[in-house]
Structure 1
Amino acid sequence: MFSHASARPTRRALFAISLVIWLLSPTSQAATHVVASIKPIDSLVAGVMAGTGERPHLLVPGAASPHTYSLRPSDMAALSSAQVVFWVGPMLETFLARPLAQLPSGVRVVALARAPGVRLLPVRVGFGVAQEEHDDAHESPDTHAGDAGINPHIWLDPRNAEAMVREIARTLSAVDPAHAARYRANADALEARLRRLDDALQRTLAPVRGVPFMVFHDAYAYFDARYRLNAVGALTVEPSLPPGARRVEAAREAIRHYGVRCVFREPEFASPLIRTVTAGRDVRVGVLDPLGADLKPGPDLYFRLMRNLGAHLEACLAH
């Protein structure tokens, strides 16, 4: 007679069964050929693919965070049938590093942090770091060996987005030459739209460039550098882990010392830490979302995300 424990399917067995069922289902026969890791990357890829009748499979949906995400059976199925996978790189989507290494050699895995023209910035850990200049930024793809020290939120500079769009179009044109002209035309249109976005954000944020603020975690180095904003630090270095008492006290002191006007939380992380840090301080609390957690995926998401960042920063810092 079988024991109760032996009759219970293991989580691994259930995962394998679900994957087989997905692969054999009619839906899986229309295989997803392009996979994108996070919503901002998915948005840029979808923009380049517009008009082809296809769109990328998005791995990290909704308000999920790439810092804590686990792949679903449908994600594994999409990866197994993909011709191209676009991601930032192992410094952000750590959950993807092993699955991508196990894909067949014919699958093109494109780490967009390594795209030509993408400007990289280092991780910032202290308070009061000058944001005006980043002399240690890297632009050459040959300088990416130290990925662990690189801030991975590369999409928050529209100039980086332009470089990524060019790389996306080059890759898709090589894999699918029948649509190469479409990819190039879409990329040209996206680059022009990104330049208009950049100009609009420069105008929106110019009046608040010198106003000090603090963020939940250091996701905004590229945005800060591009628009010369005065971020004095982040509450936590690792967003999935609570900071220690020493860092909380250092953040409270930085708010006082630098005259921080706003502290920004993020929608996918709990806010008790914000209340602790701002208690007894004359400071406003705002919300910044670097991923588009509540935005509908698609070609417009990136532009809405960036406009929202600009509007929320301006609204909190200007008053």
Structure 2
Amino acid sequence: MTPPLLAALLFAAAPVRAEPPNVLADTAPVQSLVAMVMGDLGTPGLIVAPGTSPHDASLTPSEAQALTEADVIVWTGDALLPWLGESIASLAPQAEVHSLLSTDGWEPLPADGDDGIDPHAWLDPEVAAAWLGHIASALSQADPEDAETYRRNAAGAAERLATLGADLRQRPAPLGETGYAVGHDAYRYFGRAVGLAPAGAIAPSDGSEPAPSDIAALRDLVASGQVRCLLLDAETDPSWADTLAEGAPLSTATVDPEGLTLDPGPDLYPTLIANLTAALESCLGA
């Protein structure tokens, strides 16, 4: 038997390594968490296009096609993206679907005005760390061969988020005597993580029109000096700052809780939280 023939026979007998699963995530923060867990094994796709708010999104033909090809879909859940669930069910019946809001190991907060769950849970690094473990389990079910890598990556990422959470609790805390308001009611988890809950919100978390009573209450808080900072995001008209202040001191800071302005990838989530913390710290200290 000649050496080339032997080599060919050995190659043919060797087991073929399966490719990692084709993974999709719904939003940029979730995609970042999934990317941390996947590491060098692959890059998860993103359903909601970069720079697009999940509240305003709709599926493009290419995004719909991506759903039909997915092996695993990790998404926040119906409470954040009610328009996506039906598309997943119809276009991706073959995929393993994992809703992070339906997992355990973290403490949900109630949504404003109803009995549901506030869906903005990624804004608490402790919640995100718990989600890393669930993501690793989901990927391990689809790809048992790489299960140890997923678990190891998730553990390393969780340590990084623990450090991030500790920093989050320490930095703005000395400024806690000054209250802050937010553009829409999406920062309860962040307020819990930082130890400084927002004093109020201009609009509900679903982006509906502000209630006159809520605006009047915020005006009173600003006029009395109890609120000196307003966090503005892409869904908030900046002219609300003038409406609320009416001559009273009110600092503003622009924040990006959904990572709309950040490059997708494993560093997006830590950068998002660090930027949000720095913005609050600057606004409260102004």
For normalisation by structure 1, the TM-score amounts to 0.78
Find the partner of 1:193 among 125, 136, 160. 160
Matched-pair identity in %: 37
Max radius of gyration: which structure?
2
Q: Is the 8 A contact 2:21 2:143 kept in 1?
A: no
Identify which range, 84-93 or 240-249, moves more after superposition: 240-249
1:159 pairs, out of 126, 133, 139, with 126
1:94 Cα deviation after fit: 1.5
Rounded to whole Å, the distance in 1 between the matches of 2:207 and 2:111 is: 16
1:1-319 counterparts in 2 under 5 A? 33-52=22-41, 54-124=42-112, 149-238=116-205, 240-257=207-224, 259-319=226-286
Q: Cα deviations across residues 87-119 of structure 1 (Å, max 9, x unaligned)?
A: 111110112021122245442111101122121
Judge conservation of contact 1:268–1:293 (CA < 8 Å) in 2: no
**Structure 2: which amino acid aligns with 1:213?**
Y
Q: Retained in 2: the 8 A contact 1:31–1:78?
A: no
User: Does 164-173 or 262-271 show the bigger shift?
Assistant: 262-271
**How many angstroms apart in 2 are the aligned matches of 1:123 and 1:258?**
27
Task: Give the partner amino acid of 1:183.
Answer: Y
1:245 Cα offset (Å): 3.7
Instruction: Give the Å deviation of 1:157.
Output: 1.0
Equivalent position SS for 1:94: coil
Query: Is the Cα–Cα contact under 8 Å of residues 209 and 227 in structure 1 kept in the other structure?
Result: no
Cα distance in 2 for partners of 1:56, 1:159 equals 22
Taking a change above 3 Å as real, the CA distance of residues 283 and 270 of structure 1, as seen in their structure-2 partners, is: closer
User: Cα deviations across residues 4-61 of structure 1 (Å, max 9, x unaligned)?
Assistant: xxxxxxxxxxxxxxxxxxxxxxxxxx99821111111000001111111x21111223
Query: How far is 1:194 from its partner?
Result: 0.9
Distance 1:303 1:151, change over 3 A: same
Q: How many residues align?
A: 268
Query: Given residue 260 of structure 2, which amino acid in structure 1 is its aligned partner?
Result: A
Preserved CA contact (<8 Å) 2:183 2:235: no
What amino acid is aligned across from residue 38 of structure 2 in structure 1? M
Amino acid paired to 2:138 = T
Query: For 2:227, what is the secondary structure of its paired residue?
Result: coil
**Residue 87 of structure 1 contacts residue 110 of structure 1 at CA under 8 Å; is this kept in 2?**
yes
With over 3 angstroms needed to count, the CA separation of the structure-2 counterparts of 1:118 and 1:106, relative to structure 1, is: farther
- 8 Å contact from structure 2 (residues 23, 73) kept in 1: yes
Following superposition, the deviation at residue 243 of structure 1 comes to 1.9
1:244 CA drift (Å): 4.2
Mark the runs of 5 or more structure 2 residues left unpaired by the alignment: 1-18
